[in-house]
Amino acid sequence: MQYREINSTQNDHVKLLTKLKEKKYRKELNLALIEGWNIIEEALQQKLLIEILTLESNSLKLKNVGDVLITICSEPILEKLSQSKNSQNIIGVIDLNKISENNFFKSDQHILLLENIQDPGNLGTLIRTALGFNFTNIILYNHTVDIFNDKVLRASQGAIFKAAIKEFNLEEIKALQANQYKMITTDLKEKNIFLQECQFNKADRYILALGNEGHGLSPALQKISNYNIQIKINPKLDSLNVAQAGTILMYEINRQLEGK
């Protein structure tokens, strides 16, 4: 473990890290910022952290962080780097290459496909829920919000470090279907069956596709759907929030396939 101190918001390293608030620089530098003790502890367990920036008063809490650079800095620096009103005065830098090294889909797990999800809270919640119900392979498709958006990270509670998350195009999705995956969609405009009437086969692998909060799934995904499912709800309510609907669907699919 190494220590150093930075006191100026104009420091070149601080300026570089500030750029990581933008997706294009995260991709270019293969680095991302995270903040808050809980998510930093998750990243430490997964050995993704290369640097922690914090106040000197927190240094004693970081005695056993392994081969991670500890940068002691001032509150103005942390405020400059933070995307949250409550960063807890600790910010981590993660190496995205290390995530890529372990980012392999597991053939015995189902897939959650998220198309054009725009609300960061919804995306983070769906990733966390997916991990809970054995949808540990996650596809981001068609302009879904960046997973390293701070609100996504906080809503996921570190689940993004434990799931395999990839960006796929339509042809790659079709290739999965050709490899024995069956796609479940939830478009209310298409002919559908109620979830309560569905029986899921343990011998099959499923792709659960959830679409944009306002517009649902694109016609391209609707066209290749194997099952279009509707959740029966009180007729006084038009629809459920995508994160709520996804939670119900993943729970029921997992319940049947686990035999519970």
Rg of the Cα trace of the chain?
A: 20
Cβ neighbors of 163 (< 8 A, separation 6 or more) are 127, 130, 131, 136, 137, 138
Place of tokens 């995306």: 123
Residue 222's domain is classified under what CATH number? 3.40.1280.10
- pLDDT, residue 85, reads 74
Which of 101, 121, 143 is a domain's end point? Answer: 101
Asked if residue 248 and residue 138 are part of one domain, the reply reads yes
Q: What is the structure's pLDDT at 180? A: 86
* Same domain as 145, residue 92: no
Question: Do residue 140 and residue 92 come from a single domain?
Answer: no
Please tell me whether residues 70 and 156 are part of one structural domain. Answer: no
- For residues 128 and 242, membership in a common domain is answered with yes
Q: For residue 21, is it within any domain?
A: yes
Same domain, residue pair 120 and 73: no
| Structure confidence at residue 189 (pLDDT) | 65
The pLDDT, as a whole number, for residue 260 is 56
190-to-46, 92, 132, 217 alpha-carbon distances in Å: 42, 45, 29, 11
Is pLDDT above 70 for 84?
Answer: yes
Average pLDDT over residues 223-248: 92
Confidence check: pLDDT of 31 > 70: yes
Tell me what the mean pLDDT of segment 171-186 comes to: 93
Query: Which pLDDT tens digit goes with each residue over 241-252?
Result: 999 999 999 999
C-beta of residue 116 within 8 angstroms of C-beta of residue 91: no
Q: Is the pLDDT of residue 190 over 70?
A: no
Q: How many domains does the chain have?
A: 2
- At 57, list the tokens: 């008063």
Q: Indicate whether 179 and 254 sit together in one domain.
A: yes
Binned at pLDDT 50, 70 and 90, residue 29 comes out as: very high
Range of the domain at 191: 111-258
Residue 253 included in any domain: yes
Domain membership of residue 106 (yes or no) is no
Do 63 and 140 belong to one domain? no
Spatial separation of the C-alpha atoms in residues 256 and 86, rounded to whole Å: 40
DSSP secondary structure, the chain, as one string: -EEEEE--TT-HHHHHHHGGGSHHHHHHHTEEEEESHHHHHHHHHTT-EEEEEE-GGGGGGGTT--S-EEEEE-HHHHHHH--SS--TTEEEEEEHHHHHHT----TTS-EEEEES---HHHHHHHHHHHHHTT--EEEEESSPPPTTSHHHHHHHTTGGGTSEEEE--HHHHHHHHHTTEEEEE--TTS--EEGGG----TT-EEEEEE-BTTTBS-HHHHHT-SEEEE----TT-----HHHHHHHHHHHHHHHHHT-
Please say which residue of 67, 101, 135 terminates a domain: 101
Whether 116 and 88 share a structural domain: no
Confidence bin at 43 (pLDDT 50/70/90): very high
For residues 244 and 246, give the distance between their C-alpha atoms in angstroms, rounded to a whole number: 5
Q: For residue 63, name the pLDDT band (cuts at 50, 70, 90).
A: confident
> Any idea what the CATH number is for the domain that residue 25 is in?
3.30.1330.30
The pLDDT tens digits for 103-160 are 888 888 899 999 999 999 999 999 999 999 999 999 999 999 999 988 999 899 889 9
61 domain residue, yes or no: yes
- Quick: pLDDT tens for 5-25: 999 999 999 999 999 999 899
Pick from 101, 123, 149: which residue ends a domain? Answer: 101
What was the pLDDT predicted at 186?
87
Q: What percent of the chain has pLDDT over 90?
A: 72
